[in-house]
Structures are given as structure tokens and as C-alpha cells.
Amino acid sequence: MASLYRKPVLITDPATGEKVKSKSKKWWGQYKDAEGRLKRVPLAVDKTAARAMLDKIVRQVEREKAGLVDPTDAQRKRPLAEHIREYEAYLANKAVTDKQKNETISKLKKMQTAQRWKFIADITAGSTLEYLGGLRTDGLSVQTYNHYLKAAKSFTRWLVRDRRSPFDPLAHVSRLNVRTDRRHDRRALSTDEFTRLIQAARAGKYVENISGPDRAIMYIVAAWTGFRKGEIGSLTLRSLRLDDDPPTATVEACYSKHRRADTQVLHPQLVRQLRDWLATKTRLTVDQPLFPVSGRVPGGTERKTHKMIERDLMAARDHWLDEAETDAERVDRLRSDFLCYCDHGGLFADFHGLRHLFISSLERAGVKPKMAQTLARHSDIRLTLGVYTHVELHDQTAAIEALPAPPSVKGSMNDDDQVELGLVG
């Protein structure tokens, strides 16, 4: 049963200055909610008013128990800013990286401000699409559009799961196809390009406070493991098991994109090059980053790896151009995409492009798609084959030349032709 009471309080006696027990001026109400939990709420100083307020609460509980009231009503009356703050705390407690959390909350707040969302009910598919359409009008990419939509949809899904909203207003809103508006697609360097890149890096000066030889071995590690920038930046001496059989490198779960420890087997030649390079790093401690290029790692610094590889590609291309023996050959080379950071098709050979090189090299080596997916650490083989595997013209040429010869057009096929085509045994 619901009841009224005055809460016991301690007050200071003005005559003696001592703390004495008394009763609160305001009446409090005690009741059980729809789930049977005991609740206590402050009401009013006037007892009649307090009784009326408590009776209203009890009627609300009874309607909720009868299924006549949505249990999310109270949450939907709270300011949206409070929900966003609590969602930010939820992301932090879920061990989402600070970068991902900050980017998500930042996008939510921008949408909230621009669309004047004050309560949960203000978030609608129409207002969300209006904001996202404005991004496209301002010239932003489909990828950016999708990032904002992802932040909004993750928030509205959480509102439903946490019983703050009865439905998800963005459940039916779909992302756009990024392939219709690619702004920064990558390409995989050829074997000759990569060799010249390493030579240029080794001979180069410091870029982003990373020496030429350090950049060269970092490029090789990236192209022979498929590790991303943040994963490369997390590697320490503890990450390497060069004496194991097989030798491996491990990225800890907190630095892996998929939040799990990833161990990659190392090529024997890569192991030899790593040993030679580490022999020059006499002051390197076991917990110090081998390649301090990521700000996510203690002791690391966020560095522009795209700037490093762009400088080294420019140096390699200049050297290649100087090798031209005639003016006509130099003109042809100037028109070529060879060693270009961005080719005529708008494809970039940036640092992440080395991951594309790793996965494309697996395909060129005849590695089965399922194994390539495993080594690439992709959850979907379509990503491995459709985005990261690059089939160049020479790959297509080799595949065509591997086909059996076509039948002769002069008369009927002879026995040899039929056997070669598999038409007869």
C-alpha cells in the first residue's frame, strides 16, 4: 500500500547549536512500482496536495501494470542531452576506444544542435535524412554520410535496448553505397614499385621524425603482415617471437581493430631483416614502440604515415625518371602512373595501401580465398576479394595465357584439340 510520511532529518537547534532529530517539512510518498520495487519520492509541504500527488502516481503504476501505459514514457520526457551523456558513459564502460567514443558523441551532438533535437521523440527518420542530405549538398562524401548515420543508428538502438524508447526511428534508414562515391580508394604497388620505394626510403632523410631506414623496415613489415597503422605502432620487442617455430608478431587486443589479440606468422626473410635492423637499435627497451607512429600507444606519437610514403614515392619516382635514356622515354615515363602517390584513376598508394599490397600478393601467390581472408583478419570474404584484392593487367594476361588453346577454324577439330579442351578423354 502507498503511504505518506515525513522523512526524519537532523536540524541544528538555534538555541543550543546542537543537532536534534526532527521531521522534514515536505511530505514523502512510499509506493511500489509496476515491477514491485519499493520507491520513495518527495511530494509537497501541504498534506492534501501530497496525498493527491501520491494518488496520481499510484494510478499511473496501476495503468502501467495493466499495460495501458508505456514504461518508457518517463524516459522520453527527459532532455535528450541527458541521454547522450549517459550513452557516452555507456560507451566508455563498454571499453570503446576514446577516439571512437569521441567521434560518435561529437557527431551526435552536431546533429542534435543542427536539427534542434530536445527529446527522444524529436529524432525522426525525416529530420535525420535532412541533416545527412545537407552533408552531401556541402560536398561531403558518401563515406562521411554513412559515418554520421552509423553514430545516430547506434544511439537509437541503444535507446530501445535500454528501455528509453519503445521503437527505433532509424531502423529502416539504410546507408548509401560508398562505391558510387569513392574519395580515397587505394591501389597495391607492383613488385618493382615497392622495391624502389624501399630503396628510396633507406636512402632518405627524416620525415615526421622517423629515419629513412626505420621507414623502410616499417613499410616491409606492413606489406608482409597486413598490419594497420595503429597495429604497427603498437609493436614492441615483446610482440615479436623471432625464435619460435614459426616466428610470429602479435598485436594486443586493445590495439587490434577487432578488439582481439592477432598473431601473424612472419616470412623467414622478414625475420632476417628484422634481426639486422634490431641489431642497430641498442637502446630500444622491451616495452618501447618499434615504430612510434600511433598516438594510441603509450610512448607513441601520432605521425602522418601518408606523408612519409608520399615523400619516399616522390624520391623513388624522381630517380626512376632520371634513369630515362632518351627524351622520348622520359616523356613516356612522365605520363605513367608508375610510383605515383595518386594515379590518374584517383587511386592512392598511401600507407594503408601496403595492406592492400599484402592481400593482393596472397592472391598472386595462389593462396586460397579462405586462407587469404584469415590472414587478412576479415570477417567477410567479400571485403578480402572485392576491396583489398587488386587484379592488375599482367595478372589478367597470365590468367588468359593459362587457358587451353582455342580450336582451329580450318575444318573440324583434330583429336589433339579435343583432348586439350577436355571434350574427349
Residue where a domain stops, chosen among 180, 209, 237: 180
Query: Would you tell me how many other CB atoms lie within 10 Å of the CB of residue 231?
Result: 27
Burial (CB count <10 Å: 0-12, 13-18, 19+), residue 354: buried
* Number of domains forming the structure of the chain: 3
Among the ranges given (53-67, 225-239, 360-374, 385-399), the one the predictor scored with the smallest mean pLDDT: 385-399
Where residue 364 sits, what CATH number does that domain have? Answer: 1.10.443.10
My answer on whether 329 and 362 are in the same domain is yes
> pTM for the whole thing?
0.59
Instruction: Give dist(CA 178, CA 244) in Å, integer.
Output: 42
Instruction: Give dist(CA 339, CA 320) in Å, integer.
Output: 9
Specify if 336 maps to a domain: yes
Backbone angles phi, psi at 87, to 5 degrees: -70, -35
My answer on whether 195 and 65 are in the same domain is no
DSSP state of 208: T
Instruction: Give dist(CA 134, CA 113) in Å, integer.
Output: 14
16 pLDDT band (50/70/90 cuts)? confident
Among the ranges given (174-178, 188-192, 389-393), the one the predictor scored with the smallest mean pLDDT: 389-393
Where residue 147 sits, what CATH number does that domain have? Answer: 1.10.150.130
**What is the domain extent for residue 137?**
80-180
Specify if 416 maps to a domain: no
Residues whose CB falls within 8 Å of the CB of residue 86, separated by 6 or more in sequence, listed in order: none
Specify if 398 maps to a domain: no
Instruction: Give dist(CA 363, CA 342) in Å, integer.
Output: 23
Q: 192 near 102, Cβ under 8 Å?
A: no
Beta bridge partners of 240: 249
Q: 384 near 359, Cβ under 8 Å?
A: yes
Per-residue pLDDT at 9 exceeds 50: yes
My answer on whether 56 and 95 are in the same domain is no
pLDDT at residue 413 in the model: 47
My answer on whether 353 and 233 are in the same domain is yes
My answer on whether 98 and 237 are in the same domain is no
